Amino acid sequence: MLLHVPRLLSPEEVCAMHARLTAVTWGDGRITAGHQSVRVKHNLQLPESDPVARELSYIVRAALGRSSLFIAAALPLRIFPPLFNCYRSGDSFGDHVDNALRHDRPATGADEAGRPLRTDLSATLFVSSPEDYAGGELSIEDNFGRRRVKFAAGDMVLYPASSVHRVEPVTRGRRLASFFWIQSLVRDAGQRQTLFDLDTAIQQLERDHAGHPALVSLVGIYHNLLRRWVET
**Of 119, 136, 126, residue with least CA distance to 63:** 126
Per-residue pLDDT at 126 exceeds 50: yes
Per-residue pLDDT at 127 exceeds 80: yes
Which of 46-55, 111-120, 146-155, 176-185 has the least mean pLDDT?
Answer: 111-120
Per-residue pLDDT at 109 exceeds 50: no
Higher pLDDT, 38 or 177: 177
pTM of the model: 0.92
Average pLDDT over residues 150-172: 97
Average pLDDT over residues 149-157: 98
Average pLDDT over residues 51-57: 97
Helix ranges (DSSP H) in 41-154:
51-66, 68-74
Q: What is the pLDDT of residue 111?
A: 47
Average pLDDT over residues 79-83: 97
Average pLDDT over residues 164-178: 98
- DSSP sequence for 164-201: -EEEPPEEEE-EEEEEEEEEES---HHHHHHHHHHHHH
Which of 43-57, 99-113, 116-130, 207-221 has the least mean pLDDT?
Answer: 99-113
Q: What is the pLDDT of residue 39?
A: 87
Contact 167, 197 (CB under 8 A): no
In single-letter form, the type of residue at position 159 comes to Y
Q: What is the pLDDT of residue 108?
A: 43
142 pLDDT band, cuts 50/70/90, is confident
Q: What is the pLDDT of residue 70?
A: 98
Q: What is the pLDDT of residue 34?
A: 65
pLDDT digits (tens, 9 = 90+) for 11-39: 999 999 999 999 999 998 877 766 667 88
150 pLDDT band, cuts 50/70/90, is very high
Q: What is the pLDDT of residue 107?
A: 46
User: What average pLDDT is seen over the chain?
Assistant: 93
Q: What is the pLDDT of residue 165?
A: 97
Contact 27, 47 (CB under 8 A): yes
Report the half-sphere exposure of 111 (CA within 13 A, side-chain side). Answer: 3
Q: What is the pLDDT of residue 211?
A: 86
In single-letter form, the type of residue at position 37 comes to S
